[in-house]
Amino acid sequence: MPDTNGPYTLVLGIAQDGGYPQAGDRTSPAWDDPSLRRLATCLALIDPRSSRRWLFDATPDFKDQLHRLDVAFAHPDVPGLDAIFLSHAHIGHYTGLIHAGMEGMGAREVPVYAMPRMEHFLRNNGPWDQLVTMKNVEIRPLRDAETVSLANDLSVTPFLVPHRDEYSETVGFRIQGPQRSILFVPDITGWAAWESEGTRIEDALRRVDVAYLDATFMSGDELPGRDLSKIKHPFVLDSLARFTDLPESERRKVRFIHLNQSNPLIRGERAAIETVERAGCGIAREGEIVLL
């Protein structure tokens, strides 16, 4: 537990949607050593002042992450969530909602914040529509750049980012606390694509204290035989090159997250980690806390 009575975020997962190791990977040492396993990317927001808790995305690892949250900050109710904020409709970011249903914990009216297309997807496709009709979840609207107030000094603002939007929009989140703020962008096509839509990542960094940024792939040669131009994400090496001229204080804000199993950072390869550290940036850790 942090030595504070104020709100803070807790990292509950750092891996890409499939976790680490992924299904079908028969060679990962993480099968034999559970300490090497990593859960899909997820943040919790906790406010001890009111005993309230929020999740950012509902991943396939939802039950493990809810347990970790309970260990970190217990709540008398089940699931004890004041809301779940969904970023988009790719499997690592919403499918954990299945645990709210009748086959799982049978939750009652858990607030789920979703953008318009995301809401339409949940309401009009099974099995998600059953969660709505049976009132396991209660969909609440999100709108681009419209702030959701959680307390007088605590808020969440979604913002659209370019990505593969087959079923829904994709958003990142700005979490504003009493003294500090966090940028959470687990999925994005790339920084140039975002800039073409009017937002420079450098400007976004300037307005926050910590930034959890998409680092799915370290470089473009990680998956032989697959065309990474069709799985668009900013490569870590490209991000480091883009950030190289920023002041050290800005680069220190960056914490790379959403790591694919092919990424040497998630495998703990020293050379890759040192590359990030020499550039003045960081790598998100499960259990990491940021005071707000």
pLDDT in tens, 89-98: 999 999 999 9
pTM metric for this prediction: 0.96
The verdict on whether omega for the bond into residue 79 sits within 30 degrees of 0, i.e. cis, is yes
Q: Which domains does the chain have, with CATH numbers?
A: 8-291 (3.60.15.10)
Give the residue carrying structure tokens 């020293």. Answer: 270
pLDDT in tens, 131-177: 999 999 999 999 999 999 999 999 999 999 999 989 999 999 999 99
DSSP conformation letters of 47-109:
ETTTTEEEEE---TTHHHHHHHHHHHS--SSSS--SEEE---SSHHHHGGGGGGSTTTT----
pLDDT in tens, 197-228: 999 999 999 999 999 999 999 988 777 666 66
pLDDT of residue 120: 98
User: How far apart, in whole angstroms, are the C-alpha atoms of residue 7 and residue 15?
Assistant: 24
Residue 63 half-sphere exposure toward CB, CA atoms < 13 A: 7
